Chains A and B, each alone.
Chain A
Amino acid sequence: MNLLSKIATSIGIFTLAVGSLHAQNRELVVGSSATYRPFAYENPSKEIVGYDVDIIKAVAQKSGLQIKIVNTPWTGIFAALNNGDVDLVISGVTINDKRKQSYDFTMPYFEARQLIAVQKDSPVKALKDLAGKKIGVVTGSTGDDTASREFGKTNPDIRRFESTPVVISELVNSGVDAAIGDNGVIAFRAQEHKQLKTVNDPSFPKEFFGIVVKQGNKALLDKLNAGLTAVKADGSYAQIYKKWFQAEAPVLPAQ
């Protein structure tokens, strides 16, 4: 080869090498909807904190991943995952079959149930008691699914909002009779507003939160699972759980 081709090739190989090195240590963007206290929320100093945040930070450390957490509105969080705006999502996402059709989940990192919040003087004792009442949920959440399955997805009594704080505001103002959502969040909001109380329907199944990655991204999924296993093994998981929920961490299944 003449001199020019040699130089071009060298530059090419060099760029490739640097590029792949960079790719290995590329910062991963984590999408989280920071209106989901205590899982992910913004504190007064504008940092995103919460149970989910601590978990993913621990996982990243164990797996040698660089992460950056970006506050992503719940409405578009899955779209962001699909088009690559975020590499993974940790945002109180319940693992369910419908979602598994489109996305891949890690092993569980939190055990959850649905919980109902109502006004303190409400006679409601179970999900069935909500028939005919106005129910507030976050659009597309597990609470939405629960209400839709029980009362019909086009039932006008189901009022859908973009985020949990809005649902709770509506409940506090008596715009809806009840709110359904994940127990971690609902319990927190209920104790924040003295006029609300929670109702536990024992028929609500045990559910799990998982970290979500784009379907087929096995490499990342494996790294995250490895990290999670390590986090559970060395007691970090129990520690983080105690910090946020003041209780003993339940044992989670491996799938």
Chain B
Amino acid sequence: MDQLLWFGWFRADIIVEYAVLFWRGLQMTILVTLICIVQGTVLGLAIGMARLADARHAPARQLCHYALRWPATVYVSFFRGTPLFVQILLIHFALLPLFINPADGLLISGETARNLKQNYGAFMSGVAALTLNAGAYISEIFRAGIQSIDRGQTEASRSLGLSFARTMYHIVLPQAFRRMLPPLGNNAISLLKDSSLISAIGLAELAYAARTVAGAYSRYWEPYLAISLMYWVLTLALAYAIKKLEARYGRGDSR
């Protein structure tokens, strides 16, 4: 391909040459981000509520504390306390081979394992790591959000005879959710950018495309500027969607 120079130095042709990689990478980044946002939120809700689990009387109280609260606390501490990059490598090179291995996988082995690993290995590891990581941060957002709702709301609801589950579902969570939208939104945006780390285990997403081009041509401005622009656009789109969500849930709440 002939050199396509922009501004006299930017070699746009090398981007065009690898356009397929960038396009596929963009799709993969979006896919991974969306999946992890959804899964992370569900997981975060579960863990957040586990951290608040309580019962009026023993032995249910002890059960709540040891079987729910304590494991949840350890989980959150670990996934917030270790670097995401390390988590990705740990899961891909240590954990995944334990479960999915042609030779002796605990979960899946043989030919299926080989196919699964080759075609989806990096994807599974990356999504798993990102989901677990996001779940930990999001659980803290949920916990704080739920705890920020005035106790009087719960008291009034329970006094009417509404069960704990109904109180959570109708009264506490809807109010908490509106408060949690800004930090949840921030988390979603972080997730989008963190997904770039999965390129290290060979997942063909956006950052991987840039690394490939940089490796092939030893030129760094072009590929990294290109993906910076793409990440920026994606972030703006995400921020816009979050703003729309915040607007929709804004009616009626005074405090």
Contact = CB atoms under 8 A, between A and B. Distances in A.
Given A160-B202, A160-B212, A161-B200, A79 B24 contact: no
Interface stretch (A12-20, A51-59, A168-176, A230-238): A168-176
Interface residues of B, number: 28
A19 B207 CA distance: 43
B216 A144 contact: yes
Contact of B93 (A75, A162, A169): A169
B196 to A, nearest CB: 13
A175 B218 contact: no
Given A154-B21, A175-B202, A160 B101 contact: no
A140 interface: yes
Interface in B115-129: 117-118, 121-122
B108 to A, nearest CB: 12
Given A144-B216, A156-B24, A139 B211 contact: yes
Contact of A161 (B101, B102, B202): B202
B114 A140 contact: no
A25 interface: no
B214 A75 contact: yes
A154 B117 CA distance: 20
Given A102-B218, A140-B214, A160-B202, A154 B93 contact: no
Given A174-B114, A174-B117, A140 B101 contact: no
A136 interface: yes
A180 B48 CA distance: 46
Contacts of A193: none
Contact of A160 (B96, B118, B211): B211
Nearest to B119: A134
A166 B216 CA distance: 19
B220 interface: yes
Contacts, number: 70
B125 to A, nearest CB: 9
B18 interface: yes
Interface string A130-146: 00001010011100110
Contacts of B214: 75, 139-140
B207 to A, nearest CB: 11
B146 to A, nearest CB: 41
A174 B93 contact: no
A141 B218 CA distance: 11
Interface size class of A (residues with CB under 8 A): 20 to 34
A217 interface: no
A208 interface: no
A246 to B, nearest CB: 31
A79 B221 CA distance: 11
A104 interface: no
A139 B218 contact: no
A140 B218 contact: yes
A176 B17 CA distance: 25
Contacts of B24: 156
B118 to A, nearest CB: 5
A141 to B, nearest CB: 8
Contacts of B121: 173, 175
Closest 8 CB pairs of A and B: A140-B215, A139-B215, A154-B20, A159-B202, A78-B218, A173-B97, A134-B118, A175-B121
Interface of A: 75, 78-79, 99, 102, 134, 136, 139-141, 144-145, 148, 153-154, 156, 159-162, 166, 169-170, 173-177
Given A139-B211, A177-B118, 10 more contacts: A139-B212, A148-B216, A154-B18, A154-B20, A160-B215, A169-B93, A173-B101, A173-B121, A174-B101, A175-B122
